[in-house]
Amino acid sequence: MSVIYILLTISILVAIVFFVAFIVAVRNGQFDDSYTPSVRMLFEDELIKEKPKKTILTKKD
Amino acid sequence: MSKSTCFHCGLDANSSKITFDDKEFCCNGCKTVYEIFSLNDLTCYYDLQTAPGATPKDIEGKYNFLENTKIIEQLLEFDDGDTQIITLYIPHIHCSSCIWILENLNKLNPFISASIVNFGKKTVRITYNQESLSLKNLVALLSSIGYEPFISLDDYSVGKKHVDRSLIYKLGVAGFAFGNVMFLSFPEYFQVGEFWLEQFKPMFRWLMFAFSVPVVFYSAQDYFISAFKGLRSKILNIDVPIALGAAVLFSRSTFEIISNTGSGFFDSLTGLIFFLLLGKLFQQKTYSFLSFERDYKSYFPIGITKISSDNSEASIQVYDIEKGDRLLIRNEELIPVDCILIKGQARIDYSFVTGESKIVSKQSGDKLFAGGKQMDGSIEVDVLKSVEQSYLTQLWSNDVFKKDKELSFTNITNSISKQFTITILLIALVATSFWLFTDSSKALNVFTSVLIIACPCAIALAAPFTFGNVLRILGKKKFYLKNASVIEQLAKIDTIIFDKTGTITANKETTIGYEGLTLSNAEEALLKSTLRGSNHPLSRSLYALLDQNNIVTLDTYEEFLGQGIEAKYKDQHIKIGSASFVGHNNNTATLNTAVHVSTNNQYKGKFTFYNKYRKGLSQLFNTLKKEYDLVILSGDNAGELENLTKLLPTKTKLLFNQKPEDKLEYIKYHQSEGAKVLMIGDGLNDAGALAQSNVGIAISENVNVFSPACDAILDASKFNQLYNYIKVSKSAIKIIKWSFGLSFIYNIIGLYFAVTGQLEPVVAAILMPLSSISIVVFTTVATNVLGRKIPS
């Protein structure tokens, strides 16, 4: 049953890893702006749509 | 004719007839921006949002100060020779298209390597190479696509600002510990008595202790500090019982695990701190894109052009201006110091200072005051005083700007916490002494139990969550408050003071009345045609008012600055302008602005410009008068007196010709008589009054750009909702009082367990979070219901 020591160590280690990740994220400013990133990730779809459009435009000219 | 709107900015494009790529534009500026975008494959800009753009402004010479290396150095955030990083504030950022285009700047200019938008703050952080792209050109590029940055004296110390993230760290630590401690105390909750769990109990307990230490000494430190400060100045604030509760929780729990008598209350302790910090975070909602602390620095330019004795021009920093310097003020530039006009036609717009949008003409030798904006060509001036000594900036040296309003005000939580703390200590003492006689072994146990369970976390949570939520709801309705305590202050006011110009009158709109002989059709056509050529603001408003007539091409046209216009068409001759200019001599000078007209040397009449009052003004005043004393403090002359008395309830006090200091003194005097004053203003001249009042609200037609230092910013379009907003803050106070009642019920139940000496950790673990969570739920639901009642 001393396996519980290992289990406990692991679970707390995992928790600490997440905690450190959180601190690092805050330090890097991830929580400074909570709106822009949510919009930014949608742009990637738009960009792909843009490419075929571009060829049409150049043909037109 | 079908209505067409500009593809770029959404403005009316009917009259412009500019089409490009089958799209209509309102002006060439918008067309150019579209061209830039379509050439660079950036038309996706228009897919994200319809008509997202702004018309680019002509900025010729405006950013010359960005050539001064000393100024650039101060603005840059990072500079290693090859790479420069700058954060620019761009008020126009308003939609996802803006984010998209600003983050694709590198497609417009290859020397920009990266740009990141912060939507909340309306800033863009640009990484570029200065050797290939100067800062001035970068700003010009941004302006050319309609995203003109706003650079003011305030930015001069940029880069040194540091972001305070301590609350989120503290919350993170507390949340992390709370979760782990809960998990580790599971065996304790169920008292399973299983062999192995019994074996590991001490280890679990010491782990819980280890998790709690940073929570108490780091996360909760603000409560201890605040409680200590409060006690030192002999005030029993809400943090005293919280700190007491946390300290007792921690020491009793530590004692229990050392003596191996129990598992302690570490779960309740960490949970308590976690919820309290969560409440703080909720209350900390800020409108980071708005600035509530504005002083003259936010308005003033950083650099100005100085003319040296050898006639060469150089950009210098505003603080470097010395008495006797000669400055060049360009069109649309703000005058940063008090000075004397030397050369050029000065037409000054003092609207930043007075709120009055009328343009004043000045002659050579006249004194100009800091804060005025030159509107017509460039002028040369001689400096009379340095920036700090100028009239406008002197206003900020008044003591009211140094005083912190929040400190002089006891909030609702602190006002009840005094009785609360005393009551709890009494209960604890009585219960302890009772147990000392009956069963002395339990006495200490009971004493600590009372302090633990009575810890007023639910009370401490009620206000932050209610106010935090109301703050958010009002923000959605375009009423932005600086912080939560403003709501409380707003609920208490009994006197409302309004500034006139710009506050109860719409800034840019006027109504025009005509008095005199009727004009013939030909005369009207001539009048219209003549006005068409003039750029004077009065001509523009008058032109817009007149009916569309056949525009004729004038034979002669001459504009006399500061006087009027003269024009000829065939045998007709017209003069428009001041009374003396058109040859009309009447001594009954009116206080209102008027434009006089004469044709063929015969005086015809005058167009008088009246202020246009905001929609719903009369109705708002009539609702407000039932509960509040209403006053109008105006810096203007009494020209509108008659108009105002007709419009407003008879009880309203009207005071004219009030200087900024007069307004401040007026409020101070009434406060000394016990009045709780709400001041509503807009110009810099109201700044002193706004700071002195209990609550100062700035009305703004563009909330992003100009508003003086204040406690709240109200969007001008929501002016008629003022009464509803005050009512909401009153209801918020009611909600908090209800929450207090609710948390007292929990406390009484908890105290029963504590006083009878049967407070088990599991009871505390259920009761304490339950009270906190139910308060949070109650206030959130109640405030949302309240928010729904506000008409939009």
CATH assignment of the domain containing B353:
2.70.150.10
Is position B428 within any domain? no
Quote the pLDDT of residue B507: 63
Q: Does B100 touch chain A (CB under 8 A)?
A: yes
Q: Does A26 touch chain B (CB under 8 A)?
A: yes
Residues B121 and B112: beta-carbon distance below 8 Å: no
The CA R_g of chain A, rounded to the nearest whole Å, is 23
Question: Which residue among B48, B116, B169 sits closest to A23, beta carbon to beta carbon?
Answer: B169
Residues of chain A neighbouring B179 (CB-CB closer than 8 A): 15
CATH number of the domain to which B69 belongs? 3.30.70.100
Which of B9, B39, B56 delimits the end of a domain?
B56
Residues of chain B neighbouring A5 (CB-CB closer than 8 A): 203
Examine the domain organization and report whether B571 and B521 are in the same domain.
yes
**Residue of chain A whose Cα is closest to the Cα of B117:** A36
Between B277 and B483, the more confident residue is: B277
The owner of tokens 């109860």 is: B504
Residues in chain A: 61
Residues of chain B neighbouring A31 (CB-CB closer than 8 A): 165, 168
Mean pLDDT confidence for B65-77: 79
Structural domain count of chain B: 6
**Residue of chain B whose Cα is closest to the Cα of A51:** B41
Is position B165 within any domain? no
Alpha carbon of B117: minimum distance to chain A alpha carbons (Å): 7
**Residue of chain A whose Cα is closest to the Cα of B168:** A26
Q: How many whole angstroms separate alpha carbon B665 and alpha carbon A2? A: 77
Partner-chain contact A36 B118, CB within 8 Å: yes
Examine the domain organization and report whether B194 and B47 are in the same domain.
no
Alpha carbon of A43: minimum distance to chain B alpha carbons (Å): 7
Quote the pLDDT of residue B772: 84
pLDDT beyond 50 at B98? yes
pLDDT beyond 70 at B158? no
Examine the domain organization and report whether B518 and B604 are in the same domain.
yes
Residues of chain B neighbouring A23 (CB-CB closer than 8 A): 169, 172
Is position B452 within any domain? no
Eight-state DSSP code of residue B389? G
Q: Which two tokens stand for residue A36?
A: 């822009």
Which of B340, B366, B395 delimits the end of a domain?
B395
For the ranges A20-24, B158-162, B388-392, B473-477, the one whose mean pLDDT is highest:
A20-24
| pTM given for the model | 0.76
Range of B620's domain?
Answer: 465-505+616-729
Is position B237 within any domain? yes
Examine the domain organization and report whether B660 and B641 are in the same domain.
yes
Best of A4, A24, A55 to disrupt the B interface (most B CBs within 10 Å) is: A4
CATH number of the domain to which B663 belongs? 3.40.50.1000
Which of B95, B129, B144 delimits the end of a domain?
B144
For the ranges B223-227, B413-417, B640-644, the one whose mean pLDDT is highest:
B223-227
Is position B212 within any domain? yes
Question: Which residue among A4, A53, A57 sits closest to B200, beta carbon to beta carbon?
Answer: A4
Question: Which residue among A26, A36, A54 sits closest to B168, beta carbon to beta carbon?
Answer: A26
Mean pLDDT confidence for B138-158: 79
Examine the domain organization and report whether B181 and B276 are in the same domain.
yes
Examine the domain organization and report whether B477 and B500 are in the same domain.
yes
Examine the domain organization and report whether B651 and B694 are in the same domain.
yes
Mean pLDDT confidence for B619-629: 87
Examine the domain organization and report whether B473 and B541 are in the same domain.
no
The count of C-alpha atoms lying within 13 angstroms of the C-alpha of B24, restricted to the half-sphere facing its C-beta, is 14
Is position B412 within any domain? no
Residue B355 corresponds to which amino acid? G
Q: Which residue from B13, B112, B1 is spatially nearest to B53, judged by alpha carbons?
A: B13
Examine the domain organization and report whether B598 and B720 are in the same domain.
no
pLDDT band at B762 (very low <50, low <70, confident <90, very high): confident
Residue B531 corresponds to which amino acid? L
pLDDT band at A21 (very low <50, low <70, confident <90, very high): very high
Quote the pLDDT of residue A53: 44
- Strand order through the sheet with B313-317: B313-317, B303-307, B326-329, B379-383, B339-343, B367-368
Residues of chain B neighbouring A50 (CB-CB closer than 8 A): 41, 43-44
Here the ipTM equals 0.73
pLDDT band at A51 (very low <50, low <70, confident <90, very high): very low
Residues of chain A neighbouring B85 (CB-CB closer than 8 A): none
Is position B32 within any domain? yes
Examine the domain organization and report whether B470 and B560 are in the same domain.
no
Partner-chain contact B44 A49, CB within 8 Å: yes
Examine the domain organization and report whether B562 and B602 are in the same domain.
yes
Is position B736 within any domain? no
Residue B499 corresponds to which amino acid? D
Quote the pLDDT of residue A60: 39
Alpha carbon of A36: minimum distance to chain B alpha carbons (Å): 5
Quote the pLDDT of residue B58: 66
pLDDT beyond 60 at B588? no
The mean-pLDDT minimum among A6-20, B47-61, B434-448, B716-730 falls in B47-61
Model confidence pLDDT, tens digit, residues B676-724: 899 988 777 777 888 888 888 888 877 666 667 788 888 888 888 889 9
Q: Does B85 touch chain A (CB under 8 A)?
A: no
Partner-chain contact A33 B41, CB within 8 Å: no
Examine the domain organization and report whether B140 and B190 are in the same domain.
no
